[in-house]
Structure 1
Amino acid sequence: MPENSFSAATADSVIQAAYEAVEVQREAVKEFPGKAPGLVRALQALGDAQRDAGDNAAAESSYREALEAGKDLELPADVMANVRTSLATLLDFTGREAESLSYYEEAISNHEALGGDNLEVAAQLRNNLAMTYKCMDKFALAEQHYLRALETLENKRGRSSESVACVFNNLGSLYYAAGFPDQAKEMFEDGLQIRIEVLGENHRDVAQSLCNLATACHELRDNSAAQQHFEKSLGILEQQLPYEARSYETIGTDYIAMLEIIGEDAKADALKRRMEKLLSAV
């Protein structure tokens, strides 16, 4: 059997088993209403299986039914938190960001009330929510959630962690988009230093941070620093071809555009030729 057919058959089997579990729980709730948490969990498992199979409409329906089944019931806090998280991320990642907002807010509140490891889950959800607000040009709300996420992650993991570096990078992107390149540069520098410490100087994420920092420096008209950061970024990615060909091409194209803007046409042409040669080889 071809691999894709095997995967499809496996997904169908998982979904069918999840359907059957839901029906069992439906019958149990009819007789014993106190078993409602089992139905909610079964519906979420079904929604997860449908989402993994690419049937987002069916997954959304299952998640919403789970929320309805748990409505007005005193369920364990983690049960409803997980369903709201699943629905929020589904709506967000399928282009319905505005609809995801209330579910994100409720899920964050649920996870923070649970405490412990759930605080990190809440922080990651705040990061997602902040990105959504940024896309909606609601910069103040985005900043608020990024800063809350950063505070939680620093308290839980310490400053030297990739998750903290990621939020610094996102904050930098927010400040850049909002027209504050000085603050953006500061955030990009913080994120870069953490990534170098955690991941090493030659990691692809370090290259991305260098590119972000280069962009902020260019906006601040520090083109000498911008060129240094771009060249270091490309140097890292060149060593990781062909695996990082896409990132190399994207960052190289950004650097060429900057060089042309500042009148470094000869340097831009030389980089174009070098990139074409390297990319044609991979």
Structure 2
Amino acid sequence: MVIAFVCDVLGDKVNKGRQTVEITIDKEATRINKIGNPALLVVWQSHLRFVANVALRREDLSAAKLCNELGLHLAQAGDFPESKLYFEAALAIRREKLGEEHPDTAQSYDRLGFALRASGKFDEAGLCFQQALTIRETALGEEHNDTAISLNELGRWYEERGDLISAKEYYKRALSISLKVLGETHPLTAEYLNNVGISLVEIGELVEAESYFHQAFTINEAIFGVEHPDTAMNLNNLGYLHQNAGNPIKAQDYHQQALAIRKSILGRDHPDTAQSMSNLGIALRDQGQLNQAQHYLETALTIRETVLGKDHPRTAICLDHLGLLLQDLGEIDAAWNYFERALAIRRAALGTNHPKTADSLDHLGHLLFDLGDSDTARIYVEQALAIRQKTLGENHPLTVQTLKDLISLSPTQPSII
């Protein structure tokens, strides 16, 4: 009763004070989130969380904005399950207060989709991204910066689903808009350049991809400096490119640089840090440094199982490469178990016709061949070939290599599924 009396007497002053605090914290959170370095917001995190939770009781637009910024910070920090909760709260408020066709509602759909995709919930994420794009194209037009953001997120979604041609098309549309609206040196332009580069690597166009990666790195280095998550991402992707080009020593150098930055800024247990550890482990294995490679791959696996879950596609990447390493060490039973676990995850999360599913089938096939079971091995490799022909195309390096492998498995002409 006393509290109610005080609030009644001091109502306006209390409300003004609350509004001042919310505005101050929201502005600071927005500013730091735009920088893209979650470590800078750690000192504010407890205050932002408290203010957002209190504001949620009102279920107004100010509460939605606070939840949106807190969710974005948590997502950048790698806490996708909790970021999802705040994005869902913001979306619910905006749908009720602003309606289904408002640009702010689209932003909430977009960010919720990001958290869902990062958590491996691809079907739900795709619905969110498509809804955000539809709203933005209608409300803002086809050449608006926010429309480009939605196109980029859909590109990532298609990439995760294994539709690499569609991914490249969406990335290029986003890049085209960004170049017109934001210019050649904007961070979002760098992001879209980077993503076009990734799609080119995945379809085997490595020379063109390198040009996109270097452009993205140059922009981010000029804006943020080397010690930034986005710059580290560019270094990681340059390493990934050289890995795919058969240059493991050069790949190792890039991955070590990216890992050092990510450990320093994001922490040891962040998903991006795990990515660099995994990639560094792969580069070391390719050079025959198996003990070091095993250390990095096992550490990455532990982080991913803890942060992303045991059934996440990125967890399967570690399992798959640990299987290859154990096969190199002659630990066949352990390798088989890792390959089977990776295949089960990929079939469940990505589907039976995904390039990563083909990787697992191919690895199991080669292991069976080493064990002398060439008939069963051929069945697995045939399945891998069929998937790669469908998703990557006849001329992709992996497709060509799989066909050669299949021919070597049998003295007769292989049957292509």
TM-score bracket, normalised by the shorter chain, equals 0.5 to 0.7
2:155·2:169 contact (CA, 8 Å) conserved in 1? yes
Which one of the candidate residues 16, 21, 46 is aligned to 1:46? 21
User: Could you say if the C-alpha distance between residues 38 and 152 of structure 1 is closer, same or farther in structure 2, counting changes exceeding 3 Å?
Assistant: farther
Other structure's SS at 2:120 match: coil
1:218 alignment counterpart:
201
Unpaired runs of at least 5, structure 1: 1-24, 71-78, 273-282
Alignment RMSD (CA, Å): 4.1
2:103·2:139 contact (CA, 8 Å) conserved in 1? yes
The number of residues matched between the two structures is 232
2:46 alignment counterpart:
57
Aligned equivalents of 1:204 and 1:244: distance in 2? 9
Aligned equivalents of 1:92 and 1:163: distance in 2? 16
Is 1:86 the counterpart of 2:69? The answer is: no
2:126 alignment counterpart:
143
2:200·2:209 contact (CA, 8 Å) conserved in 1? yes
Aligned equivalents of 1:255 and 1:99: distance in 2? 31
1:154 alignment counterpart:
137
User: Could you say if the C-alpha distance between residues 112 and 222 of structure 1 is closer, same or farther in structure 2, counting changes exceeding 3 Å?
Assistant: same
Which one of the candidate residues 134, 137, 145 is aligned to 2:117? 134
Q: CA deviation at 1:251?
A: 2.6
User: Could you say if the C-alpha distance between residues 92 and 189 of structure 1 is closer, same or farther in structure 2, counting changes exceeding 3 Å?
Assistant: closer
Is 1:193 the counterpart of 2:176? The answer is: yes
User: Could you say if the C-alpha distance between residues 183 and 61 of structure 1 is closer, same or farther in structure 2, counting changes exceeding 3 Å?
Assistant: same
2:67·2:89 contact (CA, 8 Å) conserved in 1? no
Is 1:206 the counterpart of 2:184? The answer is: no
Aligned equivalents of 2:105 and 2:238: distance in 1? 36
User: Could you say if the C-alpha distance between residues 145 and 44 of structure 1 is closer, same or farther in structure 2, counting changes exceeding 3 Å?
Assistant: farther
5 Å matches for 1:1-282? 27=5, 30=8, 43=18, 45-49=20-24, 52=28, 54-68=43-57, 70=58, 80-87=60-67, 89-90=69-70, 93-94=73-74, 97-115=80-98, 119-233=102-216, 237=218, 242-243=222-223, 245-246=225-226, 250-252=233-235, 254-263=237-246
Q: CA deviation at 1:97?
A: 4.2
Q: CA deviation at 1:206?
A: 2.7
Aligned equivalents of 2:187 and 2:221: distance in 1? 11
Aligned equivalents of 1:166 and 1:203: distance in 2? 13
1:146·1:171 contact (CA, 8 Å) conserved in 2? yes
1:89·1:100 contact (CA, 8 Å) conserved in 2? no
The percentage of aligned residue pairs carrying the same residue is 19
Q: CA deviation at 1:225?
A: 3.2
Deviations 1:23-64 (A, max 9, x none): xx95465479xx7x9967754543554675944434434443
Aligned equivalents of 1:49 and 1:209: distance in 2? 31
2:155·2:170 contact (CA, 8 Å) conserved in 1? yes
Out of 105-114 and 125-134, give the one that drifted further: 105-114
2:194·2:213 contact (CA, 8 Å) conserved in 1? yes
Letter in 2 for 1:80: D
2:70·2:86 contact (CA, 8 Å) conserved in 1? no
1:111·1:118 contact (CA, 8 Å) conserved in 2? no
User: Could you say if the C-alpha distance between residues 151 and 231 of structure 1 is closer, same or farther in structure 2, counting changes exceeding 3 Å?
Assistant: same
Aligned equivalents of 1:62 and 1:265: distance in 2? 48
1:44·1:83 contact (CA, 8 Å) conserved in 2? no
Other structure's SS at 1:121 match: helix
User: Could you say if the C-alpha distance between residues 131 and 92 of structure 1 is closer, same or farther in structure 2, counting changes exceeding 3 Å?
Assistant: same
Other structure's SS at 1:159 match: coil
1:131·1:142 contact (CA, 8 Å) conserved in 2? yes
Aligned equivalents of 2:141 and 2:50: distance in 1? 39
User: Could you say if the C-alpha distance between residues 57 and 242 of structure 1 is closer, same or farther in structure 2, counting changes exceeding 3 Å?
Assistant: closer
Other structure's SS at 2:204 match: coil
2:52·2:67 contact (CA, 8 Å) conserved in 1? yes
Q: How does the TM-score come out when normalised to structure 2?
A: 0.45
Aligned equivalents of 1:114 and 1:133: distance in 2? 23
Aligned equivalents of 1:50 and 1:203: distance in 2? 26
Aligned equivalents of 2:17 and 2:114: distance in 1? 30
1:81·1:110 contact (CA, 8 Å) conserved in 2? yes
Q: CA deviation at 1:138?
A: 0.8
Other structure's SS at 1:251 match: helix
Q: CA deviation at 1:211?
A: 2.1
Letter in 2 for 1:174: W
1:162·1:198 contact (CA, 8 Å) conserved in 2? yes
1:12 alignment counterpart:
none
Unpaired runs of at least 5, structure 2: 29-40, 255-417
Out of 245-254 and 182-191, give the one that drifted further: 245-254
